[in-house]
Structure 1
Amino acid sequence: MDNKNILISGAGIAGTTLAFWLKEFGFNPTMVENSPTLRKGGHAIDFMGAGYDVAEKMGIIPALKAVDINFSKLVFVDSDNREKGSMDYQKIKIFLNGRAFTLFRSDLARVIYQSIDKGVEIIFGDTIAKIEENRKGVAVMFQSGKTRDFDLLVGADGLHSNVRKLVFGNESQFEKYYGYYTSSFTIDNISLGNNAFSMYNVPYKQVGVFSKNENSTTAFFIFASPEKLAYQHHDIARQKKILKSEFESSGWKCRELLSRIDSTTDFYFDCVSQIKMESWYKSRVALVGDAGYCPSLLSGKGSTLAMVGAYILAGELKQANGDYKKAFEQYQLVFKPFMEKKQKSAQQFAKSFVPKSSFGIWLRNKVFKLMSLSIFSKLFLNQFKDSGLKLKEY
């Protein structure tokens, strides 16, 4: 097999899944992650469809089941915490034959990471500073000053991909902003005391909370912003200030949640955007997951589809016996049309993602009450099906 030594930039969901399958298929992957440890934080995600199929092939379903949030229902509340609408999540699971979890992104990434062969080299606390391709491979200089040679390089480093910037150009060429910002963080020593996922809205803004256990609650915030905001991607203090200014006067539990923001250890804040590229590869460098085709929070499928893309990329490299030209082309041929459909579907959802009026909030609450009826649950869940994609056995 040719081109066995492959560097993966990013130890998130896409990167860890790719490392798992490359090792499984006889390659020698190395991972580099800018963070000193696995990243924490991120939204709760619905885990189903083709991503569930990949996880099943990896043998990690029991581990994922152990970290399933498994909340009873989604409840929409008013400023006095009175229920105004709800959806029975357990009925949805039954409809999906139990092949669905709700997971925190960090828990999913950790489970995948723990499943990787112990022989896989993982470099934490470093990142790629320079990339030079030659006839034989890719020469990489790390931020630490070390240099290494690899046969191939895969960027699995998310929406703000460093590899994409170094090889393909500035992010602005590929990013499509959809008018929202999102944030999440976990607060200790506070609990809602139930097993529901509570959601509160005012026009243009949404807050969700769920108690992970009796001493911990995770909060999720989304707000609309017609224009992109000015802040540095790594300026956490500025991001917290923005979030406070948006929500402190919004009522319900917002002020209490935000009063504890400075003690959290898993703060996350980012825009809601998609990444659209003509090609996901260039010579010996390829992109996987959000780095190449981020479908955004609007899709509800970013993490699971990152796993699917990683599986297909690794599988095509195996099938081509390491011939990267053939494998990269086939990877894009198989998966790009499907991802473009998912991105388009998410775009159509953008305008109604967060209700923009009191009437819109009322109408949404009424619609979700109908979800208790099986016929409406089936219609709702059809958007999460991965029809049109059949995973190959590599």
Structure 2
Amino acid sequence: MKNKNILISGAGIAGVSLAFWLKKFGFQPTIIEISPKLREGGYAIDFMGAGYDVAEKMGILADLEKVDMDISKLAFVDENNREHGSMNYRKIKRLMNNRALTLLRSDLAKIMYKALDKDIEIIFGDTIHKIAQDDEKVSVTFRSGSSRSFDLLIGADGLHSKVRNLVFGNEAQFEKYYGYYTSSYTIENFPDEGKVFSMYNIPNKQAAIYSDGKGKTMAFLIFTSPEKLSYDYHDVDQQKKILKDQFTNAGWKCPELLSKMDSTTDFYFDSISQIKMVKWYKDRIALIGDACCCPSLLSGKGSTLAMVGAYMLAGELKQAKGDYKVAFEQYEHSLQPFIAKKQKAAQRFAKSFVPKTNFGIWLRNIAFKAMSIPLVSKLLLNPFKDRGLKLKEY
């Protein structure tokens, strides 16, 4: 086996998944993560399809089932919390043969992190500052000042990938912004809505809450913005101000949600964007997950596809006995067409993701009532079944 010593930038879903499979397949991964600890926060995800299959191969399904949000239904409510449309979520899961979960992104990350081999080196609180590569190695200088060499480097560092910026160029040339910003965070001492995922809309804005029955409530906020906003995505206070400006007068439970926002410990805020790249690798350096092919929140598949990409990249490296030239090309060739389809589906959904008029809100509520019809439910679930992607056995 060649090129066994591999640095992974990012300890998110993609990076931790990759480290798991690389170690299992005989490589020695090292993870570097800019955050001082495993990140918290992030939105709720529908966990099904090929990502579910990868989790089954990892042996973590039992642990994931324990943190399933167990949503009974999605309910669309007005400012007085009266229901105007709903979807039975448990019925949807049954239509997926119960191979479906609803998870907080942070819960998924924690469980995969615990599944890692204990001798995998993980460096928290540092990041890559410089990268140089030649025919023999990849040399990296960390922000802390230390330097090390690895056989390969994999960027698994998300939408705002540092590896991508250093190796492939500025983010702007790859990002496709879809006109939305999203935020999520957890609060305490909020009225328990039971197992209902309640969603409230006014034109161009959506707020949603879900209570876990244990004293915690998850808040999810989305708003439209025709142009990208100018802000520092490391500046949380600035992001909170943007959110407050958008939702202070939005009605429903928004004032209460905003008043508790400053006490949260897992605040998340970002644009809803896709990353589109023709090439996912350059010599000894490759990208996975959102770093190279972010499908965005619109797809509902970001985390699961990151796990699929990690499994396939590690598997191709194993199959090629560490020959990265063969493995990187095969990984890209196998996954890229499928990712392109998922990105196109998300693009189509972008136009109606958050209704922009009161008529649009009414129409969306009517559409969800139709979800009670089995045939309609099956048709709408087809995009989540990941047909056309077959996971190889490595």
The equivalent residue for 1:225 is: 225
Residues 72-221 of structure 1 mapped to structure 2, 5 A cutoff: 72-221=72-221
Contact 1:247 1:254 in 2 (8 A): yes
Instruction: Give 1:333 deviation, angstroms.
Output: 0.4
- Equivalents in 2 of 1:132, 1:346: separation in Å? 35
- Equivalents in 1 of 2:337, 2:131: separation in Å? 29
The equivalent residue for 1:324 is: 324
- Equivalents in 1 of 2:16, 2:213: separation in Å? 27
| Residues 89-135 of structure 1 deviation map (CA, whole Å, 9 limit, x = unaligned) | 00011111110000000000111111011111100000000111022
Are residues 1:312 and 2:296 paired?
A: no
The AA in structure 2 aligned to 1:301 is K
- Equivalents in 2 of 1:364, 1:48: separation in Å? 24
Instruction: Give 1:355 deviation, angstroms.
Output: 0.6
- Equivalents in 2 of 1:317, 1:333: separation in Å? 14
Task: Indicate the larger mover: 187-196 or 268-277.
Answer: 187-196
- Equivalents in 2 of 1:57, 1:374: separation in Å? 30
The equivalent residue for 1:47 is: 47
Contact 1:190 1:214 in 2 (8 A): no
The equivalent residue for 1:380 is: 380
Percent of pairs with identical residues: 68
- Equivalents in 2 of 1:11, 1:212: separation in Å? 26
Contact 1:191 1:213 in 2 (8 A): no
Instruction: Give 1:219 deviation, angstroms.
Output: 0.3
The equivalent residue for 1:12 is: 12
The equivalent residue for 2:274 is: 274
Q: TM-score, normalised by structure 2?
A: 0.99
Q: Which runs of 5+ in 1 are unaligned?
A: none
The equivalent residue for 1:284 is: 284
Helix, strand or coil: the match of 2:212?
Answer: strand
Contact 1:184 1:267 in 2 (8 A): yes
Instruction: Give 1:193 deviation, angstroms.
Output: 3.8
Contact 1:191 1:214 in 2 (8 A): no
Contact 1:180 1:271 in 2 (8 A): yes
- Equivalents in 2 of 1:193, 1:84: separation in Å? 16
Helix, strand or coil: the match of 2:200?
Answer: strand
- Equivalents in 1 of 2:136, 2:284: separation in Å? 10
Helix, strand or coil: the match of 2:15?
Answer: helix
The equivalent residue for 1:299 is: 299
The equivalent residue for 1:393 is: 393
After the TM superposition, list the runs of 4 or more consecutive aligned residues in structure 1 that deviate by more than 4 angstroms: none
Quote the RMSD (CA, aligned, Å).
0.7
The AA in structure 1 aligned to 2:152 is L
Contact 2:192 2:213 in 1 (8 A): no
- Equivalents in 1 of 2:135, 2:6: separation in Å? 15
- Equivalents in 2 of 1:116, 1:262: separation in Å? 33
Task: Indicate the larger mover: 189-198 or 138-147.
Answer: 189-198
Task: Indicate the larger mover: 195-204 or 183-192.
Answer: 183-192
The AA in structure 2 aligned to 1:8 is I
The AA in structure 2 aligned to 1:16 is V
- Equivalents in 2 of 1:252, 1:193: separation in Å? 14
Helix, strand or coil: the match of 1:366?
Answer: helix
Instruction: Give 1:213 deviation, angstroms.
Output: 2.7
The AA in structure 2 aligned to 1:294 is C
The equivalent residue for 1:2 is: 2
Helix, strand or coil: the match of 2:351?
Answer: helix
- Equivalents in 2 of 1:268, 1:351: separation in Å? 23
- Equivalents in 1 of 2:213, 2:18: separation in Å? 31
- Equivalents in 1 of 2:300, 2:8: separation in Å? 25
The equivalent residue for 1:247 is: 247
The AA in structure 2 aligned to 1:376 is V
- Equivalents in 1 of 2:60, 2:373: separation in Å? 32
The AA in structure 1 aligned to 2:70 is N
Contact 2:193 2:210 in 1 (8 A): no
Instruction: Give 1:169 deviation, angstroms.
Output: 0.5
Helix, strand or coil: the match of 1:245?
Answer: helix
Instruction: Give 1:383 deviation, angstroms.
Output: 1.7
The equivalent residue for 2:361 is: 361
Instruction: Give 1:214 deviation, angstroms.
Output: 3.4
Contact 1:191 1:216 in 2 (8 A): no
Instruction: Give 1:191 deviation, angstroms.
Output: 3.3
The number of aligned residues is 394
Contact 2:194 2:212 in 1 (8 A): no
| Residues 313-365 of structure 1 deviation map (CA, whole Å, 9 limit, x = unaligned) | 00000000000000000000000010011101110111011111111111111
Helix, strand or coil: the match of 1:179?
Answer: strand
